[in-house]
Structure 1
Amino acid sequence: MRHTPGWQSPDPRTVEIAPLDLVERADDALAVQALAFGLTDDEIGVRHHIVQRHAMQPGTRALGATTENGRLVGFGYGMPCDRTHWWSTVVHPYLRQEGNDGWLDDSFVVTELHVHPAFQSRGIGRELITRLTDGAAEPRSLLSALDLDSPARALYRTLGYRDLARRVQFPSAPQPYAVMGAWLPLRRPEGR
């Protein structure tokens, strides 16, 4: 497991989830994404501009998970779906083929959700996505995830997301994705 020099894994109970300034913390967020998703330096550079642009979109909401010393260990952000945005134009034909293109209307898209590998499987991702979507004005949510069985896809299913389209191919992405959708609010474990 890669660690940043000087990294110490604090007690996960001390992680606080709060609104995140994407413009100010873009480098920190992308460092988490790079570790969680295995990004190259070139991919980080491209995504830096995308994150900055997304941060300025109307309705964008971002949350971060930080340790007591302010280190970002997880983040998520999203925005109301806009059929003219790049992501929507790529997924639209796949959703239409499955009869699900109506999901592009009145949905909140979870654009990114990543947790540092040392902090995964501790409920941070679940807390980030549920708080993020709880603040959405839209009645449902969309996201895309690698189209394979993974802990992330398993989490999304427990929250109520279901596959709307599979084998979605994004330009320059070597692996296909699945587009998933859920009605809001997301499911909670019993007793919560």
Structure 2
Amino acid sequence: MRPFSGHHAPDPREITVGPLDLAARVDDALAVQALAFGLTDDEIAVRHHIVLRHFAAPTTRALGATTQEGRLVGFVYGMPNDRTQWWSTVVHPYLRQEGNDGWLSDSFVVTELHVHPAFQHRGVGRRLITELVAAATEPRSLLSALDRESPARALYRSLGYHDLARRVRFPSAPSPYAVMGAWLPLR
């Protein structure tokens, strides 16, 4: 993904948030994720298959943030939680240990949320996540985030998410994660 020309990115008020055909724009989305999250080419290849598998489920919803020219600068997707999915099976023991495994039922999971670095700290991520979960029929939402203080964790807390489990280890992930939950609607 090429950088934005000039010193400043376009005004975030000129960004449109709306439904995203993630299967059709998976490469654009992963380019944003790679910049936002610092992914290697090998990690992008693995995530490509994961995103397509997730988006094949009929309950998966995705939103994109695009410039007036149609350039994708952020995306979010999620789905109602299914206790048999990989993510749930990994986080379940950590949530159980904290007495929070009930959160795995009747929850909408925000699977991925990434914003191009030039658009971070401008409200784009907040718009994406709040619009995505506003359509959820479940009473609560879950997500996982790197277990360190970061702008992303601050955003989630400002929306009402709180830590349900920390130091969660995903196979092959070098850093621990926190599982966070919020009652819906978000703040």
- TM-score scaled by structure 1? 0.94
Residue 163 of structure 1 deviates from its aligned partner by 0.2
Please state if 1:96 is matched with 2:96. yes
Please state if 1:4 is matched with 2:30. no
Please state if 1:123 is matched with 2:115. no
Show the 5 A alignment for 1:167-182. Answer: 167-182=167-182
Distance 1:116 1:153 in 2: 17
SS in 1 for 2:111: strand
Distance 2:14 2:159 in 1: 24
Distance 2:89 2:161 in 1: 21
**How large is the RMSD of aligned CA atoms in angstroms?**
0.9
Distance 1:58 1:82 in 2: 13
Q: Kindly indicate whether the alpha-carbon contact (under 8 Å) linking 2:12 and 2:123 is maintained by their aligned counterparts in 1.
A: no
Residue 59 of structure 1 deviates from its aligned partner by 1.2
Distance 1:152 1:13 in 2: 20
Partner of 1:51: 51
Distance 1:175 1:11 in 2: 33
Distance 1:11 1:69 in 2: 13
Q: Which structure 2 segments of 5+ residues have no match?
A: none
Residue 56 of structure 1 deviates from its aligned partner by 1.1
Distance 1:171 1:106 in 2: 25
- CA-to-aligned-CA distance 1:36-71 (integer Å, 9 cap, x gap): 000000000000000001111131110000000000
Please state if 1:86 is matched with 2:83. no
User: Percent of aligned pairs with the same residue?
Assistant: 79
Moved over 4 A (4+): none
Distance 2:186 2:11 in 1: 27
Q: Which structure 1 segments of 5+ residues have no match?
A: 188-192
